Structure 1
């Protein structure tokens, strides 16, 4: 048994078996440091980036601390966005399989509050949600959190950046003083220290190195000027033959302009920003994660909660204002031992930003001119998959297996052709190979899904 083995922790056999079945073979760095302390009951302030395994770091002690026979809220997880809350709840449900009858409810804005109230009437062991909507439920007396044993603030820095400070303190005022509080943050500015001092009792500090080694992410600055950025972006895509990437912009307007330009070039490019309706943002993120779009053009807040397997590249169309945000952005590529590329377009007036990033990354990041990229032709290739949307979801008792069954009925697709399936509360998304999309859509619309007709469309 190694020190990084989950079996080295005081965990029940059923939980260890479930972890093994889910592919949790060895603890990540944050899990090795955080889990022993959290399991001992300590308050925790942990600095770790997205993709470091932090959900299990708070999820396992959270699940082990609840009483399944009591249907009051015993665990509360606050997240900055609905996307992240949904992602966290999905992973908690997977981790909870060792323990029957654990109910996890997601409470976020952007959707009707009525179904959430109805769900809460039947009780919930764990609530995952955004501060604004949690506060709404407290005001309506549809949620009680006076029995909460563990409070988790996930990506606390982003919640403070988004103006949730007052809401967070209001919510915490409804929880017991003797609760355990775990605070996770990708960055550690002064306001995080102030928040910790107000809401935690003698917290233990854990920090996982957030820098990226040259072996995992190749970083480069490409010199350009504002009126030449789109042309320089084209050269970057052509030089590196990139067919999939997250492209970060600083404003809503720039995301939309950049997406339009890439669409005109023949790519499938999807903008995502905070001004979009929640339903649209859910759909865009799902399409990108299901490999049915080439590029996601995103602002920082809208991309929170984005976790894509094997993302080959991140492009900073505009440098962020904060070096910690740069680290967080590029950390979406080069994961799990894979190599990633991080390209940043920089102007001649941004020397100070370049130097700050080099110092923070402890790396001599090369500055290259557009001419050095050459004049290769763009080669836009349509993504391998197409996403189909079904007008039914978890609330309709729809499961991934039901969708697979409908698609593999006589004359349909082979099971191994079907890509990722995401079942949400009221809709579901399934990825199918592009050449088979028309057949798949026909199977869904003219056949039966779980014994009934369900509307479906290409996204």
Structure 2
């Protein structure tokens, strides 16, 4: 493997890349003005056909860094699967597929298919039978389709391993190896990973040819993330989270716990105090998980209480605060947790609660980062002058009907503004899933919006809607 030196300054224009004029025009329409550091470092190499190992975290622009090269090689007239992207979670796979579809708008009829667990195999097999150009999915489900021969990779020319370190953490090493065995030897392989544990290096040696290595030295700007530690007794830890939220009043907070049990206890305590808090851990059904994530991403939920495994692959923008309810035993994981706030040049808050028996973990994190943390007393956390509990600005209305019913965002927005009479600024993010559509509306008018949709029509049809 050879390593290329990443340019320190970000921001070259996409027009300097060997991309078709229609692709460049589409990038401009989508608001891609200048390249992020990972794009500037990896795109010239990937577009030249090189195998690539790139160090990049979620939120760094890495999807475009592998999507543009794989799209550049597609033959839209051939409905064989020509690119495969492996992701650790269904949520990340959905995000990646959505972004590839946006980037593929320059070319007519590029079909991008998502294959993940949590839904039945048969509809996925039927979609594959009609042909697809790009498949994005989780290793286990991809392997299921390969073993049933509903997915054939004979025409594959690009394989992408996204968040490779997380896939290994989740025990996908054997599944990945089995998938790679089914891929043609003559292909381009692009591997993206936030960290470089031994497993990733071994994987790269096994599956890649003379790979270029791109490492970005940049971390999140320390000045943008305000990091504080509080010493707590074991019995005051959960109450301390409530005090932090009441004192700083962040609109959107991700609270990390080391165990599912801690997640449940903290979510219950916060809900009892009148906060809109939801939990995310491995025992949730896929449907419940989807609804939790939609509500947090569209600002209908103030606090998401999650384990690290459950939060993998999430890319939530506009996150004001991260709270480490427990200190993680892995220093690298602490950096990932904290790095989820303060993105895109926004300021962020990162709070960590540590008991005396966790001080050795704190010491390991300080050693890795080469800095001493700022400690604050819990006594500084005062109740807000505002007696109201922290409330999210939005609420979510669920419509029964989604992509399968040909519903699009514009249809929902039109029904809400024209038929129900809402102003455009009262409607937030609209997520259209396979069988359901979720729309964020101003909290005060959520019931009115749901009732209005039940009385109106979306795409000429009567729908059922309810406030979540």
TM-score range, shorter chain: over 0.9
CA RMSD between the two structures? 1.5
Q: 1:190 aligns with which of 195, 198, 208?
A: 198
Aligned residue in 1 for 2:62: 54
CA distance in 1, matches of 2:412, 2:382: 46
Aligned residue in 2 for 1:429: 438
Work out whether residues 389 and 456 of structure 1, in 8 Å CA contact, stay in contact via their aligned partners in 2. Answer: yes
Aligned residue in 1 for 2:134: 126
> Counterpart of 2:98 in 1: which secondary structure?
helix
Q: 2:401 aligns with which of 368, 382, 392?
A: 392
CA distance in 2, matches of 1:235, 1:280: 28
Deviation for aligned residue 1:357: 1.6
Aligned residue in 2 for 1:218: 226
Matches within 5 A, 1:399-410: 399-410=408-419
Q: 2:83 aligns with which of 54, 75, 90?
A: 75
CA distance in 1, matches of 2:419, 2:126: 39
Asked if residue 252 in structure 1 is aligned to residue 260 in structure 2, the reply is yes
Work out whether residues 49 and 210 of structure 1, in 8 Å CA contact, stay in contact via their aligned partners in 2. Answer: no
Aligned residue in 1 for 2:310: 302
CA distance in 2, matches of 1:4, 1:379: 47
Aligned residue in 2 for 1:157: 165
Q: 1:263 aligns with which of 263, 271, 274?
A: 271
CA distance in 1, matches of 2:178, 2:392: 45
1:253-287 residue CA offsets vs partner (Å, 9 max, x unmatched): 11111111100111000001121111111110110
Aligned residue in 1 for 2:427: 418
Deviation for aligned residue 1:361: 2.8
> Counterpart of 1:181 in 2: which secondary structure?
strand
Matches within 5 A, 1:134-145: 134-145=142-153
CA distance in 2, matches of 1:76, 1:142: 14
Q: 2:464 aligns with which of 452, 455, 458?
A: 455
Deviation for aligned residue 1:159: 0.8
> Counterpart of 1:198 in 2: which secondary structure?
helix
Aligned residue in 2 for 1:280: 288
Q: 1:25 aligns with which of 16, 22, 33?
A: 33
CA distance in 2, matches of 1:411, 1:240: 36
Moved more, 297-306 or 162-171: 297-306
Asked if residue 39 in structure 1 is aligned to residue 47 in structure 2, the reply is yes
1:21-52 residue CA offsets vs partner (Å, 9 max, x unmatched): 11111111111111111111111111111111
Moved more, 162-171 or 349-358: 349-358
Structure 1: runs of 5 or more not aligned: none
CA distance in 2, matches of 1:372, 1:441: 42
Deviation for aligned residue 1:186: 1.1
Q: 1:346 aligns with which of 350, 354, 379?
A: 354
The 1:361/1:162 distance shift into structure 2, 3 A limit, reads same
Deviation for aligned residue 1:174: 0.5
CA distance in 2, matches of 1:3, 1:448: 45
Aligned residue in 1 for 2:20: 12
- TM-score with structure 2 setting the length: 0.95
Work out whether residues 249 and 390 of structure 2, in 8 Å CA contact, stay in contact via their aligned partners in 1. Answer: no
Count of residue correspondences: 458
> Counterpart of 2:461 in 1: which secondary structure?
coil
> Counterpart of 1:419 in 2: which secondary structure?
strand
CA distance in 2, matches of 1:17, 1:62: 18
Asked if residue 233 in structure 1 is aligned to residue 241 in structure 2, the reply is yes
1:127-162 residue CA offsets vs partner (Å, 9 max, x unmatched): 000011101101111000122111001111111111
Aligned residue in 2 for 1:176: 184
Work out whether residues 275 and 390 of structure 2, in 8 Å CA contact, stay in contact via their aligned partners in 1. Answer: yes
- TM-score with structure 1 setting the length: 0.97
1:171-206 residue CA offsets vs partner (Å, 9 max, x unmatched): 001001111111111111011111111101111111
> Counterpart of 1:349 in 2: which secondary structure?
helix
Deviation for aligned residue 1:16: 1.0
Asked if residue 207 in structure 1 is aligned to residue 200 in structure 2, the reply is no
The 1:409/1:161 distance shift into structure 2, 3 A limit, reads same
Asked if residue 110 in structure 1 is aligned to residue 118 in structure 2, the reply is yes
CA distance in 2, matches of 1:198, 1:357: 32
Q: 2:300 aligns with which of 292, 295, 307?
A: 292
Work out whether residues 314 and 341 of structure 1, in 8 Å CA contact, stay in contact via their aligned partners in 2. Answer: yes
Q: Runs ≥4 in structure 1, deviation > 6 angstroms?
A: none
Aligned residue in 2 for 1:438: 447
Deviation for aligned residue 1:252: 1.3
CA distance in 2, matches of 1:448, 1:181: 47
